Amino acid sequence: MSNSTTLTDKRDNRRGKERGRERSLISHFPKCLQMRRDPGASVDSFYEVRPECTDVPRTRFKIKAGKTLSVRKWQAAFTQEGYLDIGKTLSRIQHGGIHPSIRGEVWEFLLGCYDPKSTFDEREQIRMQRRVQYARWKDECHKMFPVVGSGRYVTAPIITEEGNPIQDPLVLRETTTDMGAVTTSVGNGSMASSIVSAVSILDEKEIQWKLTLHQIGLDVIRTDRTLLFYENSENLSKLWDILAVYAWIDTDIGYCQGMSDLCSPMIILLDDEADAFWCFERLMRRLRGNFRCTERSVGVETQLSNLAAVTQIIDPKLHRHLEALGGGDYLFAFRMLMVLFRREFSFGDSLYLWEMMWALEFDPDLFSLYEYPNSANEKAEGSKGKAKSIRQCGKFERENLKNGGKSSEAPLPISVFLVASVLKDRSSKLMTEARGLDDVVKILNDITGNLDAKKACTGAMKLHKKYLRKAKKA
């Protein structure tokens, strides 16, 4: 009797424990399921679209707990002195992007504005120095053309190619309405006339700069016009000011169409105009070669040639088909490379794509390369210097170091592999439906709003590995 009772008790205890485990699993199951299928939070409130713009591509990027780099994770990545553990940060960005509230300050590191190995105090000192430098350049531009820094911008030519002022009614109106900071003494003449003609043309550089100012204005009013942010004219003038100052200091490239698309996110993410300028300036360090034009070529043609070479290796049939259609120069991919897919993605998704690209490409020596280019050249020519930490590099950069770190040729940027990935995904459609270049352009235009930024980066990384492997064998 006692034995049977003991067995019964044991069975009851076992069943009780099993039921307890089942209840525990049931109670936790919805939470596990929710974590696994977390749809994420929308970012639409950070980049509001004007109500009347109903045909804007939807933003796929979502803020996901545990994946997106959060404010808490970002702050925890710094030591008490301010040193940043960039390795962990890069991994987080590659998996889930950056929370919009900290995007601007994280971008400053990704673009090489600051060294992760610097302290809070060192970065603050650099920031103040740069703000002073930007103010000097802006003041220099203001003296040549007082509309700069006035809260206004121009969209009509202000001088002829010979440097003579144009007394156009539109120019006069644009330079007088709500002039703000402009305090030019006019005397008996009109203020606008004074602004247009007061400063005598000094040299060819000033003529060329003034000839671009209206083109900057025309591009500014077309840039991200669907965003509520640009309904405020102060934001338009801020974008114009930054591009005008950059056109003045970059004597080699100046201003080119497409730069406004690259600069616009900077002033949206960074409140201080000078900080936004330097973020844009660092981005242009990467891309300015694409804008360099000569009588015979445009700089981006080098990247288009690289794209052709990559496609020829990873998808030779597609490459031959495109050549047969007369597209062997790959000019149909011009826009994607020039403005880094800004037109193919929604505003929010293009930012997500950019930060993943920069995190994958990140080089811990980026700040030194930009800040001290001469010492970087000396290191390349002579001493080996201290080897960079692989852990502090982005995944794409690590692959380049493993496979071609000793090569004298600069590695191809991830943007080339992103475009190659898009072509590869549309290979079947391009092969069967494209009977001419117009068809190629139409098929690629249809991707607008239909691309997934993370999948595009994943595809680019796979093609990069495949390209390096095949290139080695070749």
pLDDT at residue number 199: 47
Residue 380 clears pLDDT 70, i.e. is over it:
no
pLDDT at residue number 174: 63
Q: How far apart are CA 52 and CA 231, in angstroms?
A: 13
Residue 183 clears pLDDT 50, i.e. is over it:
no
pTM: 0.85
pLDDT at residue number 283: 97
pLDDT at residue number 198: 44
pLDDT at residue number 40: 79
Share of the chain above pLDDT 90, in %: 65
Report helix, strand or coil for 122: helix
pLDDT at residue number 3: 53
415 pLDDT band, cuts 50/70/90, is: very high
pLDDT at residue number 404: 66
Lowest mean pLDDT among 221-230, 326-335, 383-392, 453-462: 383-392
405 pLDDT band, cuts 50/70/90, is: low
Residue 450 clears pLDDT 90, i.e. is over it:
no
Report helix, strand or coil for 84: strand
406 pLDDT band, cuts 50/70/90, is: very low
C-alpha separations of 214 from 158, 218, 252, 284, 392 in Å: 7, 6, 19, 21, 43
Residue 42 clears pLDDT 70, i.e. is over it:
yes
Do the beta carbons of residue 262 and residue 415 sit within 8 Å? no
pLDDT at residue number 149: 97
pLDDT at residue number 35: 40
Do the beta carbons of residue 162 and residue 192 sit within 8 Å? no
Cα-based angle 245, 259, 457 (whole degrees, multiple of 5): 135
Backbone torsions φ then ψ of 60, nearest 5 degrees: -85, -30
Backbone torsions φ then ψ of 227, nearest 5 degrees: -85, 140
55 pLDDT band, cuts 50/70/90, is: confident
User: Which residues lie closer than 8 Å to 170 by C-beta, 6 or more apart?
Assistant: 155, 156
Q: How far apart are CA 394 and CA 18, in angstroms?
A: 47
Lowest mean pLDDT among 90-94, 133-137, 382-386, 461-465: 382-386
- pLDDT 10s digits, 255-286: 999 999 999 999 999 999 999 999 999 999 99
Sign for the CA dihedral angle at 470, 471, 473, 474 comes to: positive
pLDDT at residue number 470: 84
Share of the chain above pLDDT 70, in %: 79
Q: What is the average pLDDT across 377-406?
A: 69
pLDDT at residue number 121: 98
pLDDT at residue number 67: 93
Cα-based angle 272, 367, 121 (whole degrees, multiple of 5): 60
First to last CA, the chain: 83
Q: How is residue 466 written in tokens?
A: 């495949």
Q: What is the average pLDDT across 156-168?
A: 87
Residue 6 clears pLDDT 90, i.e. is over it:
no
Residue position matching structure tokens 């300036």: 281
Q: How is residue 251 written in tokens?
A: 């004597």
Do the beta carbons of residue 424 and residue 463 sit within 8 Å? yes
Residue 71 clears pLDDT 70, i.e. is over it:
yes
Return the higher-pLDDT residue of 160 and 130. 130
pLDDT at residue number 50: 93
Q: What is the average pLDDT across 327-345?
A: 93
Residue position matching structure tokens 């030194």: 368
The residue type at 42: S
Residue 376 clears pLDDT 70, i.e. is over it:
no
